[in-house]
């Protein structure tokens, strides 16, 4: 690192990105409490509630995800209470911290003092106002936590070269711990762990690599313990469901994925992010940046590319998955803006307007696009509706009586689901009864039989009138209440 690059690393200067990130963080937190909702977060939050109640994932209920985030969320619920607002706040704050790490890195590393803060602001806006980050980094899944952990792992990995000799191994170990925790919270981030391991390997420091890998294993210990305790169920949840049954009822998954993977071409936000990142990559090579800084930026590019290539091979895929590559792409975009500005500006110190107009333009495009996407993608459901559904279920259902419901309704009613009913998508898996029982699965055909046999005291569904008619629920139950787009029968 050159003296000029080090000059921005003082503690006082490092606080400057907070001024940029604070409004973004406030927007993320407010949206998490007022508007954020994703259907799939239901089984994540329910899993945490079940763990808090003493249940074990894989062994006691189906949860086809890496378990670390569910364990941590369960711990938070034990301390602060079982509410979706808590999980949303945790994820939103984690996403905001990831944005701060992006802005802080960009601010500290851009050599030209004229463009440090504007570049950091651009990177923060491109990351924090990204529609996928905004909509899904604020819900009760592991996206926000993974953004924070993987970005922290990157910062620690590149910081190792700055730290004194005795603390370098500790910094490498902390990087491994963060990267491992990210992958143990969602296997979608596994490529980032591998890229960081390759970074330490290419630095030709065997001790640092060993420290990184040893620490990276620690967050996987709960998963390894579950594999030992119940190998068949654990394997089904960790890999079997995703590999063998993910595409069931997705006959058009290829067409769907083509649309998902090409969605960036019609998204102004994505075009800005990718355009500045490509410019940064092209200009970095011929810049006067130090070899160390170039290596760090190429590491960010490698992490973004590896994550993107990995997600392209997940079928069916969803646009929200790509948010995991956003922080590293945003770093390149911030440097791209700074390098373009250096090329087109004269040698005199630019005026405030000249310095900040590109950032203002980025803020305008990101804000307008985000507003449009949030309005257009607004879900037909909300947690407020499910809170009302939960209250109604609790009012009409005797204590301990069996309930058929969506995961969100189980959570808000604070009623534990019957065995095999904690993960709605597992019902589409049709297996021989003995094998289904071994894996803790209840198939859709078996559920239909139970419903028609009056096995559930209360039934909640959001599947609409067609499903209600198919199951003849009006004949099975005497009373009905419609709440939002869902119905409760008892």
Per-residue pLDDT tens over the stretch 214-244: 999 999 999 999 999 999 999 999 999 999 9
- Give mean pLDDT, residues 296-316: 97
Residue 488: strand pairing partners: 460, 481
- Average pLDDT taken over every residue of the chain: 92
pLDDT band at 344 (very low <50, low <70, confident <90, very high): confident
pLDDT at 43 over 70: yes
Residue 489: strand pairing partners: 459, 480
pLDDT at 11 over 70: no
- Give mean pLDDT, residues 125-140: 97
By the 10 Å C-beta count (0-12 exposed, 13-18 middle, 19+ buried), 423 is classed as buried
pLDDT at 17: 78
pLDDT at 351: 62
- Give mean pLDDT, residues 16-45: 93
Q: How many CB atoms lie within 10 A of CB 391?
A: 13
- Give mean pLDDT, residues 166-179: 90
Please list, in sequence order, all residues whose beta carbon lies within 8 angstroms of the beta carbon of residue 43, skipping any fewer than 6 positions away: 63, 407, 422, 423, 424, 425
Name which residue leads in pLDDT, 379 or 133. 133
pLDDT band at 162 (very low <50, low <70, confident <90, very high): low
- Reduced to 3 states (helix: H, G, I; strand: E, B; else coil), residue 482 is strand
pLDDT at 4: 41
Here the tokens at position 447 are: 């559920």
pLDDT at 204: 83
pLDDT at 352: 58
What is the Cα–Cα distance from 155 to 143, expressed in whole angstroms? 18
What is the Cα–Cα distance from 414 to 463, expressed in whole angstroms? 21
Q: What's 237's DSSP letter?
A: I
pLDDT at 50 over 60: yes
Mean pLDDT is lowest, of 4-18, 36-50, 310-324, 469-483, for 4-18
- Give mean pLDDT, residues 267-276: 96
pLDDT band at 205 (very low <50, low <70, confident <90, very high): confident
Q: Is the dihedral of CA 303, 184, 48, 400 positive or negative?
A: positive
pLDDT at 114 over 90: no
For the stretch 397-439, pLDDT in tens is 999 999 999 999 999 999 999 999 999 999 999 999 999 999 9
pLDDT at 76: 97
pLDDT at 19: 84
Between the CA of residue 451 and those of 17, 366, 392, 408, 418, what are the distances in Å? 56, 48, 19, 20, 13
Here the tokens at position 386 are: 């499910």
Question: Model pTM greater than 0.85?
Answer: yes
pLDDT at 343 over 90: no
- Reduced to 3 states (helix: H, G, I; strand: E, B; else coil), residue 57 is strand
pLDDT at 309 over 90: yes
pLDDT at 349: 47
The packing angle between helices 84-109 and 16-34, to 10°, is 160
Mean pLDDT is lowest, of 14-18, 72-76, 114-118, for 14-18
pLDDT band at 29 (very low <50, low <70, confident <90, very high): very high
What is the Cα–Cα distance from 445 to 349, expressed in whole angstroms? 72
pLDDT at 354 over 80: no
- Give mean pLDDT, residues 304-311: 98
Q: How far is CA 237 from the centre of its chain?
A: 19
pLDDT at 6: 46
Q: How far is CA 181 from the centre of its chain?
A: 13
């Amino acid at each position: 690192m050159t003296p000029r690059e080090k000059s921005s690393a003082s503690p006082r200067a490092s606080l400057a990105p907070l001024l940029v990130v604070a409004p973004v963080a406030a927007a993320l937190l407010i949206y998490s409490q007022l508007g954020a909702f994703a259907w799939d977060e239901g089984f994540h939050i329910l899993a945490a509630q079940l763990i808090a109640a003493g249940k074990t994932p894989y062994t006691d209920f189906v949860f086809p995800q890496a378990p670390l985030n569910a364990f941590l969320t369960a711990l938070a619920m034990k301390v602060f209470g079982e509410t979706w607002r808590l999980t949303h706040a945790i994820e939103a704050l984690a996403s905001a911290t990831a944005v701060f790490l992006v802005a802080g890195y960009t601010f500290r590393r851009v050599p030209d003092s004229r463009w440090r803060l504007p570049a950091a602001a651009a990177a923060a806006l491109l990351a924090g106002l990204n529609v996928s980050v905004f909509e899904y980094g604020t819900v009760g899944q592991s996206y926000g936590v993974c953004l924070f952990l993987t970005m922290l792992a990157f910062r620690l990995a590149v910081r190792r070269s700055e730290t004194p000799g005795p603390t370098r191994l500790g910094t490498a170990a902390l990087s491994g711990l963060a990267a491992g925790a990210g992958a143990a919270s969602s296997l979608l981030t596994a490529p980032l762990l591998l890229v960081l391991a390759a970074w330490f390997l290419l630095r030709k420091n065997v001790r640092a690599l060993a420290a990184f890998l040893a620490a990276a294993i620690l967050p996987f210990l709960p998963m390894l313990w579950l594999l030992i305790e119940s190998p068949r169920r654990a394997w089904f949840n960790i890999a079997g469901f995703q590999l063998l049954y993910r595409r069931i009822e997705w006959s058009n998954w290829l067409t769907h994925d083509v649309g998902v993977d090409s969605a960036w071409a019609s998204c102004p936000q994505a075009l800005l992010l990718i355009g500045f990142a490509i410019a940064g990559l092209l200009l970095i090579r011929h810049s006067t940046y130090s070899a160390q800084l170039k290596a760090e930026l190429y590491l960010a590019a490698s992490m973004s590319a590896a994550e993107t290539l990995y997600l392209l091979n997940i079928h069916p895929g969803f646009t929200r998955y790509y948010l995991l590559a956003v922080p590293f792409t945003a770093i390149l975009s911030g440097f791209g803006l700074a390098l373009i500005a250096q090329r087109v500006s004269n040698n005199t110190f630019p005026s405030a307007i000249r310095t900040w107009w590109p950032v203002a333009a980025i803020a305008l495009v990101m804000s307008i696009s985000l507003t449009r996407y949030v309005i257009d993608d607004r879900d037909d459901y909300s947690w407020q509706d499910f809170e009302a559904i939960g209250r109604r279920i609790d009012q009409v259902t005797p204590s301990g009586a069996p309930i058929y419901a969506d995961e969100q309704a189980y959570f808000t009613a604070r009623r534990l689901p019957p065995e095999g009913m904690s993960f709605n998508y597992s019902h589409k898996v049709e297996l021989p009864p003995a094998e289904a029982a071994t894996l803790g699965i209840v198939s859709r055909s078996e559920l239909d039989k139970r419903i028609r046999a009056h096995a559930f005291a209360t039934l909640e569904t959001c599947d609409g009138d067609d499903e209600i008619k198919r199951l003849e629920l009006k004949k099975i139950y005497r009373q009905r209440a419609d709440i939002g787009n869902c119905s409760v029968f008892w």
